[in-house]
Structures are given as structure tokens and as C-alpha cells.
Amino acid sequence: MTTATYTVNGMTCGHCVSSVTEEVGQVPGVTGVDVDLATGAMTVTSDAPVDTAAITAAVQEAGYEVGATS
């Protein structure tokens, strides 16, 4: 299993978290998404590494921006 952490900017409520979780969860290979509204931290788990560009695109589709990644 692979885990990657991202920072999502612009979220202000639980609906924001739900939107990001739903979009990122649809990226092929993603098995789990955990988003913390207070910190903006998003942890993505997958069976194999997932392209950062795909994660970023999914977050943008939800209407938000990705900050730093690790």
C-alpha cells in the first residue's frame, strides 16, 4: 500500500471535504481518502503510487487547489 499526503487550499466546510473526498476517490487506483478540514491535510492511500497530476486534477475538479505534497 502507498500513502501520499497533500494540502488542499480553499475548503471551508464539511461539504468541501465531501466534494474533495468524492472526486479524489474516483481516481483509478485510489483506495482511500482522508481529509482534515481544520488543517487542509489530505491523505490518499492506494495499492500503487498514483500520479500526482491525477490527484491535483481531481481536487481542482472539486473546486479547490493543491498546496504542498509529501
Write out the CATH class of domain 2-69. Answer: alpha beta
For 39, the grid coordinates are 488543517
CB 32 within 8 Å of CB 45:
yes
Q: DSSP character for 36?
A: -
Residue 29: how many other CB atoms lie within 10 Å: 14
Backbone φ, ψ for residue 21 (5° rounding): -60, -45
Q: What is the pLDDT of residue 70?
A: 54
Whether 68 has a pLDDT exceeding 80, the answer reads: no
Taking only the tens place, the pLDDT of each residue in 11-31 is 999 999 999 999 999 999 999
Q: Is pTM beyond 0.85 here?
A: yes
Cα–Cα distance between 22 and 9 in angstroms, integer?
Answer: 16
For the segment 41-48, the average pLDDT, to the nearest whole number, is: 96
**Which pLDDT band holds residue 57 (cuts at 50, 70, 90)?**
very high
User: Which helix (H) or strand (E) is 60 found in, with range?
Assistant: helix 52-61
The identity of residue 6, as a single letter, is Y
